[in-house]
Copies of this chain bind each other. A is one copy, B any other.
Amino acid sequence: MVQELQIFQQHLSKTGRKVTQERIEIAKAFLSTEGHITADELLQKLQRSGVAVGRATLYRTLAVLCEAGLAVKRQFDEGTARYERLYGHKRHDHLVCTRCGKIIEFESPLIERVQQEVFLAHDFLAHSRRVELYGLCKECRE
């Protein structure tokens, strides 16, 4: 996380932005999170640690984190976006339990191949993908 924080600060400077207390606090809170967090959850996490930042600043900083390549914004099938750490994480896809909301990450070399074939077949220049499998986890079936 230390390394990510440095990247973040460098990114701020490099893009002519200022390294503010708020941005650092938000970045720290986000970078000490595993999994997939919503803006609101992150705000609550900050408030619990006694840090009070405005919602606007939160959203603005999350956008910068994405820009810096440290986060990705994802829309699962709720109405709300979730943010996921990117740095040092392997490319992966998601398995989601439709009852309890649990999200499991998985990797599949086979999907990589399918992806390439489809892009090739339709003459697309690959950019990214989103693969989500929805089902019921073991616990939720009991």
Q: Which residues of A contact B (CB under 8 A)?
A: 75, 77, 79, 95, 97-98, 104, 106, 108, 110-111, 113-115, 117-119, 121-138, 141
Contact = CB atoms under 8 A, between A and B. Distances in A.
Rank and list the top 8 A-B pairs by shortest CB-CB distance, nearest first.
A124-B135, A125-B136, A127-B135, A123-B138, A130-B132, A127-B134, A129-B133, A128-B134
27 contacts: A95-B124, A97-B124, A98-B127, A104-B122, A106-B121, A110-B113, A111-B111, A118-B133, A119-B133, A119-B135, A124-B133, A124-B137, A124-B138, A125-B135, A126-B133, A127-B134, A127-B135, A127-B136, A128-B134, A128-B135, A129-B131, A129-B133, A130-B130, A130-B131, A130-B132, A131-B131, A131-B132
A118 B108 contact: yes
A61 to B, nearest CB: 20
Given A77-B75, A111-B114, A125 B141 contact: yes
